[in-house]
Amino acid sequence: MSTQTTIPGTDEAWESGELGADENHIGRLSPTELSAEATLIQDSLGLQPISIRLEKTLIENFKAIATLEGIGYQTLMRQALWRFADCEMKRILRNMASDKKEQERVASASLSSKPAGEEIPKAA
């Protein structure tokens, strides 16, 4: 009969490495299980794999920056794309708001410049 030490499953045991660090208890996933796990993770994070062609130097630059930042280069690329998309959306919305204000100003100015007695058309 073998004696087995049981470590209580507490957060502290996981954080300290008492649990989850013994190679004797590592399980291996089959390629099918691994693919299913990857799909589950991607779906839960809302990620979609894509294929894109980029210049080698651009990828090398991202890898160098990512190494200095201590993150993966694909994570860095995702962050850069988010920053760009956020800034572009803000710029587009600012321009749309500015255009609308200008249209309202022009419409207001044209209404106030009508001669007395002339009928002012109703807004649609």
39 by Cβ neighbours in 10 Å (0-12 / 13-18 / 19+) ranks as exposed
As for how many domains the chain has, the answer is 1
Asked whether residue 95 is domain-assigned, the answer is yes
On the CB side of 75, CA atoms within 13 Å amount to 9
pTM (2 decimals)? 0.56
The string of pLDDT tens digits covering residues 39-87 is: 888 888 888 889 999 999 999 999 999 999 999 999 999 999 999 999 9
Asked whether residue 122 is domain-assigned, the answer is no
User: Where in the sequence is the domain holding 38, given as residue range(s)?
Assistant: 28-111
SS3 at position 84: helix
